Amino acid sequence: MRALRKTAVLLRAVRLLQEEVVPRVPEVQQERDEDEAPRHMQDVLDEFEKTQKLFVRVKPLQEGVRVLEKVAPGVFFLRGWEAFDNISSNCFFLKNKGSLLLIDCGNLSEQTAKELNAAIKELKGAVKAVYCTHGHYDHVGGIKALPSKTPVFLSEKDFYLIHGEGKARFKPLKKKIVFGSFALSVLPTPGHTPGSVCFWEARKKILFSGDTLFAAGAFGRTDFEGGDQRAMERSLKTLGGLGWRVLLPGHDDVERA
């Protein structure tokens, strides 16, 4: 029954796409005219760099406050935030003894750096690699807070979204990620960006869905440069057949079946 409900939600999302009716998704967005060109992520990044000192976290980090939530055995959730016209993605840590694997790393703000470092300290580990669901700044900018030798993996189709001196740190994604007891398949799910991917742990039924699929059946925007509504429709259909039990999206709440 749960699987049927999940499939029904995804099919509704697909129908909304077909009708060109886009529900609210967990990203700050502005109204735009149909004739207006898709907004380039570099424009958003430039705005962010000019004004980041004005931003505050929705729930400011305080000394002694626990910022991590354990969402599955060996999986820890660091919630993202929204402030003004900018956002920082959810981050997920996989832990294997003293080693950590990080899925998405938030934006390049000082607040994100503080929270990443606090989480790493709490987990008593070292980040061995970062895997990004796509190349938007709110998912990749946090690499600035990590040691420069930490490898960062991203679909080559999203390399065009990366700018600046940090570009050399990015390496192409492989089809499989093995880390301790985790075996993640890399599923191409274009639509939000050409190189968007989801990470699927089939045995544990855990889906890291990036900005393709969110809780309650919401889905990612397709109006940025590189977005593709029809590709998003196909990606949602692919995810609808997985039968996940834990959904870990790029923004807002996690979802359990």
pLDDT tens-digit series, residues 81-91: 887 767 999 99
pLDDT given for residue 37 in this prediction: 47
Whether residue 65 is predicted with pLDDT greater than 90 in this model: the reply is no
Question: Sign of the CA dihedral 23, 26, 31, 37?
Answer: negative
Q: What six digits make up the tokens of 31?
A: 């109204």
Cα 48–chain centre separation: 18
Q: What six digits make up the tokens of 140?
A: 């990749």
pLDDT given for residue 86 in this prediction: 79
Q: What six digits make up the tokens of 110?
A: 């000082």
pLDDT given for residue 85 in this prediction: 67
Lowest mean pLDDT of 56-70, 131-145, 199-213, name the range.
56-70
pLDDT given for residue 49 in this prediction: 45
CA distance 149 to 113: 17
pLDDT given for residue 82 in this prediction: 86
Whether residue 64 is predicted with pLDDT greater than 70 in this model: the reply is no
pLDDT given for residue 10 in this prediction: 52
Classify residue 53 by its DSSP letter: G
pLDDT given for residue 141 in this prediction: 95
Helix (H, G, I), strand (E, B) or coil at 62: coil
pLDDT given for residue 183 in this prediction: 98
Q: What is the mean pLDDT of residues 7-25?
A: 43
Lowest mean pLDDT of 61-75, 125-139, 156-170, 181-195, name the range.
61-75
pLDDT given for residue 9 in this prediction: 47
For residue 143, what pLDDT band results from cuts at 50, 70 and 90?
very high
Greater confidence, 17 or 129? 129
Sheet-wide strand order for 68-72: 68-72, 75-78, 91-96, 99-103, 126-131, 152-154, 170-172
- Residues 98-112 as b or e (16 or more Cβ within 10 Å = b): eebbbbbbbbbbebb
Sheet-wide strand order for 197-201: 176-179, 182-188, 197-201, 206-210, 246-249, 255-256
The kind and range of the H/E element at 13 are helix 2-18
Amino acid 78 reads L
pLDDT given for residue 43 in this prediction: 53
| pTM of the predicted model as reported, rounded to 2 decimal places | 0.78
Mean pLDDT of all residues in the chain? 81
**Cβ within 8 Å of residue 222, ≥6 positions away:** 22, 191, 192, 228, 229, 231, 232
Q: What is the mean pLDDT of residues 17-37?
A: 40
CA distance 126 to 113: 15
Lowest mean pLDDT of 20-29, 122-131, 189-198, name the range.
20-29
DSSP assignments along 102-167, one per residue? EE----SSHHHHHHHHHHHHHHT-EEEEEE-SS--HHHHGGGGGS-TTS-EEE-GGGGGG--SGGG
Lowest mean pLDDT of 25-34, 40-49, 112-121, name the range.
25-34
What topology does CATH give the domain 2-19+57-256?
A: Metallo-beta-lactamase; Chain A (3.60.15)
Q: What is the mean pLDDT of residues 66-81?
A: 91
CA distance 44 to 245: 34
pLDDT given for residue 83 in this prediction: 78
Helix (H, G, I), strand (E, B) or coil at 200: strand
